[in-house]
Structure 1
């Protein structure tokens, strides 16, 4: 039988990068959307900061529901 080609440490690093990328994608999206209203630089920074918070909450929500879904399959 063939096992996984990556180690547990590599999986951990990859998962962490995916989570950080997800949060930064949401934060970047909010900052880009704020550009539609002709903001000042501090307002863009504030939109990015709020986006980080929203991204963290969305990430928690997705991971929480994914865990429940996996448990329901067992």
Structure 2
């Protein structure tokens, strides 16, 4: 029988990197959108900060939805 190709520690590291990349992508896209709208550097920095907060909140929401989905799949 063949087992998983990665260890639990490697899976946790990959999951953490994916989450960090997702939040960073949302934050940076906010800053780039602000720059495209001719924002000042301060406004762009503020847009990145707000984008990071929105990305974190979105990640938390998606994690809770995912956990609920996994729990409902186990009950069947």
Q: TM-score range by the shorter chain?
A: over 0.9
Q: Distance in 1 between matches of 2:37 and 2:8?
A: 45
Please list the CA deviations of residues 27-68 of structure 1 after superposition, one character each: whole Å capped at 9, or x if unmatched.
011111112321111111110000000000000000100000
48-57 or 35-44, which moves further after superposition? 35-44
Give the superposed CA RMSD.
0.7
TM-score by length of 1: 0.95
TM-score by length of 2: 0.93
Q: Distance in 1 between matches of 2:17 and 2:11?
A: 10
Structure 2 unaligned regions, length at least 5:
none
Runs of 4+ in 1 over 2 A off after TM superposition: none
Count of aligned pairs between the two proteins: 74
